[in-house]
Structure 1
């Protein structure tokens, strides 16, 4: 039976998240992650053959965790308006529960050198984004938002406004106020009511 790896990839990615959250994507280097975890450089390069792979894995793991939760909430209620309001709250609640990961996502994939990722990582990122956009589009249809402007309004309510709320607080004072989920829900409700 083979030995389990001594330097687990999840431990290395946890350290990369901490570095990125504290000092931005530029702080995530092979040497910095190795130093933070006490990992030999050779083991780092065994796990991540180049920095672009480390950054891609960091982004994909983080955005994947967010997207899975987002999709689960979106599918959790058969009534589309309640599902929409729940998912607007979820963006804020997830960010509150995972502030370092939220800080990573607020930078966006381009800050993690997406243009340099090997193709397989870009394909995985695109696949995840398509799943979320398809789910939001499907919910928009259930809400009767079939015109392009109406679909845009739903995306604004369920993606852009909750993220803007998170961004303003996490990039400012570093924490979300107690009323943030309620505010995200209220904004979503107002936008969804506009099209009726």
Structure 2
């Protein structure tokens, strides 16, 4: 039986997230992550072909973690308006608990991580995550309305409100205070007429 890897993929991606949070996407390179870990570059290249694959895998893992937790919250709430508010408050709490990953999701665009020349399997993984985010919004829209839905308004309420509440704190490397939870909840319930 072989030895466990000294630098497993999650440890590499955790360091990549920390580098991205501290220095931006450009810092997420195989050599930069190896240096930060105190690892040989070969440890990174053993798992990732280069910076493009490393960055895309980081973005996908971050999206997967967030979406899984977000969907778990929505599944436990029957009332659509309450589900939207609960999901938004959960997003704030998740970002507070995962500050490096929060900066990836909120302060950067997908295109900074997912390049068109990536392997097909990684592009498909990223596309599935984008489609998953759209399905979440569609699910909320159907639950909220029987007829045509104003998606722009729903997007603003479910996604724009929590993003706007968190962005100033993340931009200045500050922690998101607990008071933001109730502000987001109140704003969403008011906008939904609750």
Provide TM-score, normalisation by structure 2: 0.91
Q: Distance in 1 between matches of 2:147 and 2:159?
A: 18
> Once superposed, what is the RMSD of the aligned Cα atoms?
1.8
Q: Distance in 1 between matches of 2:132 and 2:183?
A: 26
Unaligned regions of 5+ residues in structure 2, if any?
none
Q: Distance in 2 between matches of 1:68 and 1:42?
A: 32
Aligned length in residues: 193
Match of 1:147 in 2: 148
| Aligned pairs for 1:45-64 within 5 A | 45-64=45-64
Match of 1:72 in 2: 72
Match of 2:97 in 1: 97
Q: Deviations over 1:18-40 (max 9, x none)?
A: 10000110111111111111211
Match of 1:109 in 2: 110
Match of 1:137 in 2: 138
Q: Deviations over 1:71-104 (max 9, x none)?
A: 1111111222221110011111111111111011
Q: Distance in 2 between matches of 1:174 and 1:115?
A: 33
- What secondary structure does 1:4 align onto? coil
- The more displaced of 132-141 and 15-24 is 132-141
Provide TM-score, normalisation by structure 1: 0.90
Aligned pair 1:11/2:6, yes or no? no
Unaligned regions of 5+ residues in structure 1, if any?
none
| Aligned pairs for 1:3-42 within 5 A | 3-42=3-42
